Structure 1
C-alpha cells in the first residue's frame, strides 16, 4: 500500500504519527488530536509548494501511527518516540546531562551510599538531584567521614578475613569483617543517614543527642565523641539549609540567542532563590536539522486556532518574517479542508531549499519541543519554569507536569517585573555562550580547568594530569609512556618511559596494571604528591586495570579516568555507567585529546627506538638468507626472537620458505648446543 492510500485508512483518533524514508528510518514524529486530518494537512501544504513541508514529503515514503486515549498520552508518547528514534526533522536534545542523585541501597544486608545519575526501581532510596553536580560527591564524602557508611564495591553479603584501608582510617564501620559492627548498630546508622538525606535534621539531632548522652553515661567515650561530631555536622547543615530556603521557591529560567541559523540556549537552575548551576545547549544548521517545528496560529488573524483545529507540535521550525512579531508559524492547518488524495493530485515534490528569503526562527515552537524532552522524564521538576516566549502546548504540558509531581507547576513567559529581568539576564548569558561557542573565542586556562572539573566531577581544580599509553606490535617490545600536563602546559621534564617487564604477548590490561603499579608505588614510597587526575588512553578494560593496580598499593580515592579512541568517550572510575560525552567543539575535550595524543606520540616514538635497537642486535642477522624484510616478517608473526626459537619447522614455513626454515632451526640448534655445558669425567 502506497503512502497516499495508507493515509485514507488512518483513524480520526488522538495519537502519534511517524514518517519514514525509503530506508525505513523514522525521519519525523508528531502528535495530533485527529491523526487523519493532521497527516492529510501535510499534503495540502506540499501541494501549495510550501518549502518546509515539501522537504519532509520529498523524503517520506511511509507513515505509521499509534493511537492513544487522549492528548496527554500523545504528549508523553511523542517525547519517548523522539528520544528513541532520534528523527532528523525533530528537535533533538543532544545534551542529555542529568544531575546526580545519592543512592542508599536499602535492599542490601549492609546498605551502602553511592552517587548515581540513573534512577532504577531496585529497592534503593534515591535523594536529589543535587546542584551543582559536585555537591552530591561532597555529601557522600561527608557521610563517609561522619556516619562511616561505605560506598565500596566489596560484596557485603558475606564476611571477609580483613578490612580495607577505609576502616583503619575511620571512614567505614567495617561491616565486611565479622565482629566489627553488629547488624543492629549498622541499621541504626543507616537510619541516621536516611534522616540526614531526607532533610529531617531536627529529628536526627534529637536522636543523636540522646544516644550521645547514653554513651557518655556508660563511659563509652569514643562512641560518644563520634556521636558528638555527627551532631555538630547535622547542626551545621541545618543552618545552611535555613539560609538557602529563606528566599523564593525553586525555578528554572531559560534564555536564548539565535543568529546565522545557529542557536544557543542557557538554563539557570534557581534553588531557594539562588542561582546554583547553569546549563548550555547548542544547535547548528537548524533549518537542515529541524525543518518542521512551529505553532498553530491562524495566519489571517494571528490568533490561536480553536481546540478542534489547534495544531500539534511538529509545525515548521521556520516562521515567515511577516509573522515573526506575533510568533506565528506556517503549519498545515487541519481546520482547512484538505483536497482528496488521489494519484492525480498536484503535489509538488521537486527539490527546493529548506529556507527561503524572509524566513526566521520560531522561539515558541522551539521551547514547546525542548521542554517536553527536558521535563517529561525527570523525577524532580521545579515549581516555576520561566521562558522568554509563550507556546501553544503550555497549558497541557503544565497539567501533565503538575499531575506527575503532585503539585502545581507554573510555566510562564513573564513580560515585566523581576521575573522578566531574570529571563533577560539569562538571555544575555546565552549570547555570551553563543559568542564563545560559535565565534571561536578561546576561553582562558582557568575556565577550561573549571569546565574539566565539572565535566569529570573532580573534587579539586585539576592542576596536574598524568596520562599513560601502551605501545607494541603484536606483543613485541611492549613499552609505556607517561606525559604530564601541569598548569596549562605540557611539562616535558616530567615525561617518563617504561619497559613492560612482567608481561609477554599481547595483554594491554596487564601491561597497564604493571606500569601504574610501578609508577605510583614509587611515588608512595617517596612520599610524593599524586596528580589531580590520572588519565588512561583506552577503554573500560584499561581503566579497571589501572584501578586494580592502585588498589593493590592501598590507593582508593585517586581520581582516575580514561578516554576511548574513535568514540572519544571519557569514562570516570566509579561512574562507568554514565560516561562523559563532550561536544566535539568543547575546549575540555580538546584538552583531553591533546594530552592523550601526546602520550600516544611519546609511546610510539619510544617503541620505534626500541625496535631499532632490537633490529640492530637481532640474532636473526647471523642466519644466512634472512634479510631485513624476512626478519621483520618473522618478528611480527611470532612476536619475538624467543617465539621464533620455539617455533616448529612447519610453523616457520608459514612465513618463510622450507629452506630458510631449515637454516633457522639449524642456527638455533647450534647455539643451544654451544651454550650447553660439557661433562668432564674425573677418574
Structure 2
C-alpha cells in the first residue's frame, strides 16, 4: 500500500493489474485496471488541471492506493469487474439498480432435471439462462414452462427402480412423474431440451422439433400426446408472431445505445435473436459528470456482461469503446467463440442502433422529469419540516434510529439515512445489541447512538447529520441527547411519536410535541422515515431469528460443522431451500462432498 504523498511513477510495477483507491478512513472509493499500473496511477497526479472535475474531487480524497498484480490485462479486466460489483465504490460508474439479477437454472447434472430460480451462476453442471429483471418474471416463466412441459418441480431423489409413489402434481396433470416410471429418461430429457431451446429464444427451431414429435405420436396412434404437442406448438406460434423482425439476417445481436441528461444517462439494450426483436431492457446510471460517451459505454459493457449468461455473436454499439480488444477477448473466452463488437456506419444495423438511442432518449427524458418532480417534492417537505421544528440548520441529511425485540430478547437496532429527502440505502446500518439488560429501550437507543457516533469526535472527515430522529418520545430523545453530549457532539435530536393505531402523530422537539396533521408534506416524509427505520430493524430481527433456527436445525446433522453450515446458508439462503435440495445440489456447495450431502438429504426425510 502507498500513501498519497508517496504516489508517483516509483513504487508501482510497470505491468498489468488493478489499483484500489481508498480515502483517509480506509473506505474504497475507486477501483480501476491498467495495462501499466505505474503509468496509469501517475496520470492522476502529474497535471491535475487536465483532469475533469469529478476526477479532481476523487484525487483530493485519496488517502492510500493498493494494487493487485495480474498476469495479463484480460485478468485485470475480470478482477476489476468482480471487485467493483463487490465493493460498489463511490466514484466508479454503477448501474443505478445494480444487484444480483435472477437466472433460470436448468439442473442438467441431475438425471431428471428441474427448473429453478438462481441468484448466481455456478460451475455445477447446470445450464443458466438470464439474467432477468425480476424474480417475479422468473417464477412465472418457470411455472408456465412446468405446466406446458410437465417437468418435475420437487427435489425428490428419484430411485432407479422408478416405483415410488407419484405426488399430487402428477394427478392434476402437471408432472410426467419420472419417480413412478411414467416417462422414460429419453422422453423426459427431450422435454428439457425443448425448454432450453425456448429459453435460448430459438422458437422456430423448437416449433420444427415439436412438429416432428407430433407427427411421430400420430403415427403411433398416440393421439392424446399429439394433441398436447399441438397445443404447445400453437402457444409458441403465438409468441413468435408477436416478435418484431428487425433484420433480414437470422442472427443473434445485442444492440447498446445511450442518451444523457445532466450527469445521468439511460442505456438501452435490444436483444435480437434470429433476426427478431425479442425484448429490451434499460438501465440508468448517475454521477457521470466528466465521463465521455465512450467511457460510459465501456463501463456499462463490462458491468452488464460480467453478469449475463448469454453472449451473442455480435454486439452493436453507438460509440467506440475504450479497451475494445481486451473486452472482445474477454467476451470471446466467456462465449467459447469469437464475438464481433462494432459501431455500424450505415445500413439496417445503423438504423437499429439509432432506434435503441431514440428509446434511450425518451426514457431518460421521462426519468429526468420524474426525478425533478421528486426532488422538488422532497425539498418542499424538508422546508416544511425545517420551519415547523424551528431548526438551526437545514436538514439535508437525516439519520433515524429504531429498536426491535421480542419480549426484550435478541434486541437489534437500525439506522436509516435520508439525504435531500430520499433514502440513501448504502449508508444504512444495523446493530446487534448486548443481551442481559432486559427490555430497556432507553439504554438500547443510547448503545446504538454511541456505536454510530463514537468515532466522529475530532474527525474532520466524518459525515454527520443535520437532524437525528429516534423512534420514541421525550425519554428516548433525552437519553440520546445525553449520550451525544458525553461523546462531545452537538446534534439536533427529535423523537417520532405514534398514535394508538401505530401511525405517525408528531415530532418531539425541545420537550414539546409538534403535531404534523396540518403539515401534509412533512408528515409524509417523517412517516416514510419512521416506517423505513422500523422495516429495516424488523427485517434484521427476522433474519437473526431465521438464522438461529437454521443453525439449531443443522447442528443436529452428523458431519455438518460450522464451516459447512455457513456455506449451506450462503448457497441456499434459508432452511426451506436446504430441505428441498437434492443430493447433487447439496454436494455442489463449497466444502461439501457426496457423503455429507447424503447425510443432510436423509436428515430432512426421516
TM-score, normalised to structure 1, is 0.47
Cα-to-partner distance string for 1:85-120 (whole Å, 9 max, x where unaligned)? 211111112334677654333444653333545422
Counterpart selection for 1:94 from 88, 91, 96: 96
1:200-228 Cα distance to aligned partner (Å, 9 max, x none): 755665566546655x4xxxxxxx34422
Q: Write out per-residue CA displacement over residues 544-587 of structure 1, whole angstroms, 9 at most, x where no aligned residue.
A: x9xxxxxxxxxxxxxxxxxxxxxxxxxxx9x999xxxxxxxxxx
Where do residues 368-407 of structure 1 align in structure 2 (5 Å cutoff)? 368-407=298-337
The question of whether the paired residues in 1 share the 8 Å contact of 2:94 and 2:286 is answered with no
Pick one of 421, 437, 449 that aligns with 2:367. 437
Q: Which residue of 1 aligns with 2:440?
A: none
Deviation at 1:63, TM superposition (A): 1.0
CA change 1:135–1:274 in 2 (3 A) is farther
Match of 1:255 in 2: 257
Question: Take 1:97 and 1:71, find their aligned partners in 2: how far apart are those partners?
Answer: 26
Q: String of CA shifts for 1:43-100, please: whole Å, max 9, x gaps.
A: 1023778744432222112111111222222222221221122111111123346776
User: CA 1:232/1:140 → structure 2, altered by over 3 Å: closer, same or farther?
Assistant: farther
1:197 partnered with 2:127 = no
Give the corresponding residue for 2:15: 13
Equivalent-residue separation in structure 2 for 1:272 and 1:368 (angstroms):
26
Alignment of 1:570-649 (within 5 A): none
1:181 aligns with 2:164: no
- Corresponding residue of 1:416: 346
Q: How far apart are the structure 2 equivalents of 1:390 and 1:375?
A: 17
In the other structure, the counterpart of 2:175 is 172
Partner of 2:37: 35
Show CA shifts across 1:638-659 (max 9, x none).
xxxxxxxxxxxxxxxxxxxxxx
Tell me the CA shift for residue 196 of structure 1: 1.3
d(CA) in 1 for partners of 2:11 and 2:103?
47
Match of 2:48 among 24, 39, 46: 46
Distance 1:426 1:57, change over 3 A: same
Q: In 2 relative to 1, CA 115–83 (structure 1 residues): closer, same or farther, beyond 3 Å? A: closer
Identify the structure with bigger relative contact order (alpha carbons < 8 Å, sequence gap 6+). 1
Q: Distance in 2 between matches of 1:225 and 1:129?
A: 38
1:56 corresponds in structure 2 to 58
Aligned to 1:228: 226
Pairing 1:82–2:84 present:
yes
**SS in structure 2 at match of 1:265:** strand
Q: Which residue of 2 aligns with 1:569?
A: none
Aligned residues: 377
Structure 1 partner of 2:390: none
Gaps of 5+ in 2: 198-204, 374-404, 409-534, 547-573, 579-606
CA contact (8 A) 1:435 1:441 kept: no
Q: CA deviation at 1:399?
A: 2.9
Task: Return the alpha-carbon distance in structure 1 between the equivalents of residues 276 and 101 of structure 2.
Answer: 17
Superposed CA deviations along residues 368-413 of structure 1, whole A, max 9, x for unmatched, are 1111111134331122322222133223322321232133322222
Q: Is the 8 A contact 2:20 2:31 kept in 1?
A: yes
CA–CA distance in 2 between the matches of 1:442 and 1:261?
A: 13
- 1:173, CA displacement in angstroms? 3.2
Displacement, 1:277? 2.0
Distance change >3 Å, CA 576–CA 107, structure 1 → 2: closer
Map 1:213-224; keep pairs closer than 5 Å: 213-214=219-220, 216=221, 224=222
Which stretch of structure 1 is more off in the superposition, 390-399 or 77-86? 390-399
CA RMSD of aligned residues (A): 4.4
* 1:120-167 residue CA offsets vs partner (Å, 9 max, x unmatched): 233334456689998866664454345422224566579999755422
Question: Aligned in 2, Cα 1:21/1:141: closer, same or farther, shift over 3 Å?
Answer: closer
Structure 2 partner of 1:149: 151
Per-residue deviation, residues 490-531 of structure 1 (Å, max 9, x unmatched): xxxxxxxxxxxxxxxxxxxxxxxxxxxxxxxxxxxxxxxxxx
Partner of 1:3: 4
2:113 to 106, 111, 114: 111
In the alignment, the residues of structure 1 paired with residue 279 and residue 101 of structure 2 have an alpha-carbon distance, to the nearest angstrom, of: 10
For residues 395 and 163 of structure 1, the distance between their equivalents in structure 2, rounded to whole angstroms, comes to 54
Structure 1 residue matching 2:96: 3-state secondary structure: coil
CA distance in 1, matches of 2:42, 2:18: 14
Distance 2:50 2:235 in 1: 64
Residue 189 of structure 1: SS of its match in structure 2? helix
TM-score (norm 2): 0.52
Displacement of 1:26 in angstroms is 1.5
